[in-house]
Structure 1
Amino acid sequence: MELSTKNSKKVVQRTSHLSPPSAIVIGAGFAGVAAARTLRDASFNVVLLESRDRIGGRVHTDYSFGFPVDMGASWLHGVCEENPLAPVIGRMGLPLYRTSGDNSVLFDHDLESYALFDDNGTQIPHYLVTKVGEVFEAILKEASPCSSLCPNFCLSVCQRLQVSASGSMQTDKLRGDQSNDMSIKQAIEIVLANRPDLRQEGLAHEVLLWYICRMEGWFSTDSDKISLNSWDKEELLSGGHGLMVRGYLPVINKLAKGLDIRLNHKVTKIKWGRNGAAVSVANGKVFVADAVVIAVPVGVLKTRRIQFEPTLPAWKEAAISEMEVGVENKIALHFGTVFWPNVEFLGVVSSTAYCCSYFLNLHKATGHPVLIYMPAGNLARDIEKMSDVEAAAFAFAQVKKILPQASEPMQYLVSRWGGDENSLGSYSYDGVGKAHEVYEKLRIPVDNLFFAGEATSAAYPGTVHGAFSTGVMAAEDCKMLVSGRLSELDLCPAMAAEEPAVSVPLLISRM
């Protein structure tokens, strides 16, 4: 499957129809490893190319502290049999620490084990946090589907967006129509303008902003960039959310065992066509195969660092361009002693969502004295402009606000997913004015090119199990096409068309 550069002009041609089917997978995150594993188990010759010096992609378990700390993804979202990753984790006997049940207002946490403080270090009473949480849920419900239950909101939206020249309401088009979309932030402002009973003052208002801050963490971006039309399109599996106590590395190592993985192989060009594909790497190597599974982060695809010959169809280029990618980072602080409350998370409220803080307490879940500061959106990007020393000092300053007796951390780790050239973002989200269907368009194959990754999962975007399931899905598509072509049956001629048919099915039955 590997050729020298001097032979690269002839690589897009199978050498023999008697040889086993072959595929190149680009990107050794969960999607790429899942695709490579599925194809190898189907007797394909598979080479997995990874630009980093490790596997895992945006899953990265660090052992610098002497124990595992996930600096990327760390939760299994949906601890149930329907989760595609659950059987793998279950067979390995890996422990999970449940941080939330179903339908929590904080997404991945319940309001059962926490400590929330104001800027002066005074702990906020639980009854107030619970009360504001109920208000926040009511605001989101009011802002979500526009119906006869919220006529004032509908009228205000119509007035602001001028969706009807005659001034009529046209309320049925507020959701699902890109032209009428707005941000979650704008929707919340409209709700509060029309529902005085939901407005909060003083400390309660700051608590409400903290809830918005946590919502921004879930979507890895600021509330003024999250789509009102699509923010709740993700399918949340039952069973709540479980923290991977030993990290995600054992899982991906298990899936990757026995695969032909080439680290430090940064792909620069993909030449594709009916007769095969050639993949060029920055080190001068060229790999040839029947098909390619592209499982690199969409942030990398958006830079066009990987050239395609011929170029991708306009609809595929548009899908890549339209997909939004946010940033959420982690700053892990390792302390010598535990000086904080025995709760799952600590938070600091403030007068703006930007200045609110959230810390995950690993000691509660794993027994290790670590607090993980998790900024998102513009705050995360601003912190990436700091050095590691400055970023750790910034995070520790937030701790000192609420716990003046805090001792200095012994060690620290800082993630930089936004600036990392191999990720250029943490995970995707539904942007304002962008249809949720862009996830499916990003997934649809183009001839013998197949796409996988969390940003190709319309049901589970931004999740590890979403990445895993799309990797398996892409491999199944690849098997079907390559097997058909080797039998002189071209099963997917329409995939290279300029615009995919609306009726292209979601391949979920196999999952």
Structure 2
Amino acid sequence: MNPIWPLVNSTLKLRNFRSDFDGLAENVYKEKGGIYGRAYVQKRLDRLDEVEEGGAKLSAKLRPSGQDDMSILAMQRLNNHMPNGPASPVDMILDYFKHDYEFAEPPRVTSLQNVVPLATFRDFGDDVYFVADQRGYEAVVHHLAGQYLKADKSGDIVDPRLQLNKVVREISHSGSGVAVKTEDDKVYKADYVMVSTSVGVLQSDLIQFKPRLPAWKILSIYQFDMAVYTKIFVKFPRKFWPEGKGREFFLYASSRRGYYGVWQEFEAQYPDANVLLVTVTDEESRRIEQQSDNQTKAEIVEVLRSMFPGEDVPDATDILVPRWWSNRFYRGTFSNWPIGVNRYEYDQLRSPVGRVYFTGEHTSEHYNGYVHGAYLSGIDSADILIKCAQKRMCKYHIPGKFD
């Protein structure tokens, strides 16, 4: 079982809903209005599934080291005989939904061997749930923290060891210990340090390591991808989109791949909220982060008026645009395993450097990019550190690149 599921569903009882993708073939909108026929879209979806099945068989035959790995796009070419991948608006949006909507980067970037079959779906099933709870998904983090940090009667963490709103700018390390310096010039000394920032932050200049991390470590950090995945919430004065069973998700088949393509309505989750969610990724995310919210709002309304030409689509009254890429504490949303990175570089990515240890979703062996990956990698990294600190088992073995 996914270790996060019992926390969400049983322990915290966070309000959540199964995402209903079953009617997707009936909800693909043309660029200038109208809906594609269900039979046609289903045929294209079935072909995509056939290609992915072929990719799974091919992936299983590749050597475990990763030296034979290829991109998902290369696999698609082998199975689909499309020289440049999906090209029609329908094929592009279905391809985007299958891959970018999951990994936040296109098939030409993503590693076949590490995502086909996808370990999360293979191990835990492919049902997806949306948390729609006022406590927020962060309630999971607070619950876990409350198991080992002091909390008051209301459950708020009050442990003096926890230092919030401290920006780490420098980590000095030697054979005898570490010193962590924050932006307010405070210094914290310890025997070891665990660095749990995103790989995007590690790729930035936010934290300086003294002495510098070795070349092999820096290279492994730079070779991984920090993807950008943006869920934009848009509020309207009234509904104008279809609702009901099989209508939760709908797609916009633009001739511009990834342009406001995947939509979700919230009739069940937030009744009468009149809110739509549209997801963009990668270059579109970066472009949108650099423009004003009003400009993004205008683009979204223009797309919706193209999708629903027979409806009186009003102007949006509010919008929420996350800016993960611009935020110096994230520099992206989650990691994606790119083509060219094999198990060797991954082992280097999570390997400690002296008394400096690393953890985070990007160090999860099978579930990078997911919350359960972050959770499980935290346990693994802590185990590696504890073995060194308490049992003097400090040697971390990295198999050769092609072992």
Tell me whether the two structures share a fold, i.e. TM-score over 0.5: yes
Mark the CA change 1:468 to 1:173 in structure 2 (over 3 Å): closer, same or farther.
closer
The equivalent of 2:95 in structure 1 is 212
The answer on 1:351 being equivalent to 2:263 is: no
SS in 2 for 1:188: helix
The equivalent of 2:71 in structure 1 is 183
Q: CA deviation at 1:177?
A: 4.6
SS in 2 for 1:279: strand
Aligned residue type for 2:50: A
The equivalent of 2:172 in structure 1 is 271
Mark the CA change 1:85 to 1:116 in structure 2 (over 3 Å): closer, same or farther.
same
Whole-angstrom CA distance in 1 between matches of 2:384 and 2:26: 45
Q: CA deviation at 1:189?
A: 3.5
Q: CA deviation at 1:346?
A: 1.8
Per-residue Cα deviation, 1:332-361 (whole angstroms, up to 9, x for no partner): 101232221112112111234234611122
Aligned residue type for 2:286: R
Contact 1:113 1:344 (C-alpha < 8 Å) held by counterparts: no
The equivalent of 1:314 in structure 2 is 215
SS in 1 for 2:27: strand
Contact 1:99 1:110 (C-alpha < 8 Å) held by counterparts: no
Whole-angstrom CA distance in 2 between matches of 1:146 and 1:114: 31
CA RMSD of aligned residues (A): 2.8
The equivalent of 1:242 in structure 2 is 129
Contact 1:146 1:174 (C-alpha < 8 Å) held by counterparts: no
Deviation larger for 284-293 or 268-277: 268-277
The equivalent of 1:193 in structure 2 is 81
Equivalent of 1:333 in 231, 234, 249: 234
Whole-angstrom CA distance in 2 between matches of 1:173 and 1:471: 29
The answer on 1:88 being equivalent to 2:4 is: no
Mark the CA change 1:406 to 1:174 in structure 2 (over 3 Å): closer, same or farther.
farther
The equivalent of 1:491 in structure 2 is 393
Aligned residue type for 1:456: T
Mark the CA change 1:212 to 1:113 in structure 2 (over 3 Å): closer, same or farther.
closer
Equivalent of 1:125 in 15, 37, 62: 37
Aligned residue type for 1:373: V
Mark the CA change 1:230 to 1:92 in structure 2 (over 3 Å): closer, same or farther.
closer
Whole-angstrom CA distance in 1 between matches of 2:390 and 2:56: 45
Aligned residue type for 1:501: I
SS in 1 for 2:144: helix
Contact 1:276 1:448 (C-alpha < 8 Å) held by counterparts: yes
Contact 1:357 1:398 (C-alpha < 8 Å) held by counterparts: no
Count residues with an aligned counterpart. 374
Whole-angstrom CA distance in 2 between matches of 1:114 and 1:438: 43
Contact 2:86 2:92 (C-alpha < 8 Å) held by counterparts: no
Whole-angstrom CA distance in 2 between matches of 1:200 and 1:322: 27
Mark the CA change 1:181 to 1:200 in structure 2 (over 3 Å): closer, same or farther.
closer
The equivalent of 2:398 in structure 1 is 501
Whole-angstrom CA distance in 1 between matches of 2:82 and 2:302: 38
SS in 2 for 1:399: helix
Q: CA deviation at 1:273?
A: 3.2
Q: CA deviation at 1:329?
A: 1.0
Contact 1:118 1:402 (C-alpha < 8 Å) held by counterparts: yes
**Is there any run of 5+ residues in structure 2 with no aligned partner, and where?**
147-156
Whole-angstrom CA distance in 2 between matches of 1:243 and 1:193: 36
SS in 2 for 1:329: strand
The equivalent of 2:150 in structure 1 is none
The equivalent of 1:432 in structure 2 is 339
Aligned residue type for 1:339: F
The equivalent of 2:292 in structure 1 is 387
Whole-angstrom CA distance in 2 between matches of 1:188 and 1:175: 21
Mark the CA change 1:421 to 1:401 in structure 2 (over 3 Å): closer, same or farther.
same
Deviation larger for 186-195 or 226-235: 186-195
Per-residue Cα deviation, 1:281-336 (whole angstroms, up to 9, x for no partner): 11100011222111101011012431222333333222212111111112210123
SS in 2 for 1:280: strand
The equivalent of 2:116 in structure 1 is 232
The equivalent of 1:49 in structure 2 is none
Mark the CA change 1:293 to 1:443 in structure 2 (over 3 Å): closer, same or farther.
same
Whole-angstrom CA distance in 1 between matches of 2:25 and 2:196: 37
SS in 2 for 1:371: strand
Aligned counterparts, 1:12-27, within 5 A: none
TM-score of the aligned structures, taking structure 2 as reference length: 0.84
The equivalent of 2:152 in structure 1 is none
The answer on 1:482 being equivalent to 2:389 is: yes
Whole-angstrom CA distance in 1 between matches of 2:347 and 2:294: 41
Q: CA deviation at 1:436?
A: 4.6
SS in 2 for 1:481: helix
Q: CA deviation at 1:396?
A: 2.4
Whole-angstrom CA distance in 2 between matches of 1:306 and 1:449: 13
Q: CA deviation at 1:232?
A: 2.0
Whose Rg is larger? 1
Mark the CA change 1:396 to 1:174 in structure 2 (over 3 Å): closer, same or farther.
farther
Per-residue Cα deviation, 1:180-237 (whole angstroms, up to 9, x for no partner): 5443234324433379xxx989xxx422211111111211112221223433264123
The answer on 1:419 being equivalent to 2:326 is: yes
Contact 2:31 2:255 (C-alpha < 8 Å) held by counterparts: no
The answer on 1:303 being equivalent to 2:190 is: no
Deviation larger for 438-447 or 295-304: 438-447
Whole-angstrom CA distance in 2 between matches of 1:110 and 1:402: 20
SS in 2 for 1:223: coil
Contact 2:76 2:82 (C-alpha < 8 Å) held by counterparts: no
Q: CA deviation at 1:139?
A: 2.1
Aligned residue type for 1:307: Q
Q: Percent identity between the aligned chains?
A: 26
Whole-angstrom CA distance in 2 between matches of 1:371 and 1:439: 38
Whole-angstrom CA distance in 1 between matches of 2:375 and 2:28: 35
Equivalent of 2:144 in 255, 259, 269: 255
SS in 2 for 1:226: coil
Whole-angstrom CA distance in 1 between matches of 2:398 and 2:189: 30
Mark the CA change 1:146 to 1:491 in structure 2 (over 3 Å): closer, same or farther.
closer
The equivalent of 2:48 in structure 1 is 136
Contact 1:330 1:372 (C-alpha < 8 Å) held by counterparts: yes
Mark the CA change 1:234 to 1:140 in structure 2 (over 3 Å): closer, same or farther.
closer
Per-residue Cα deviation, 1:102-161 (whole angstroms, up to 9, x for no partner): xxxxxxx444696221012202232222221101111223345449xxxxxxxxxxxxxx
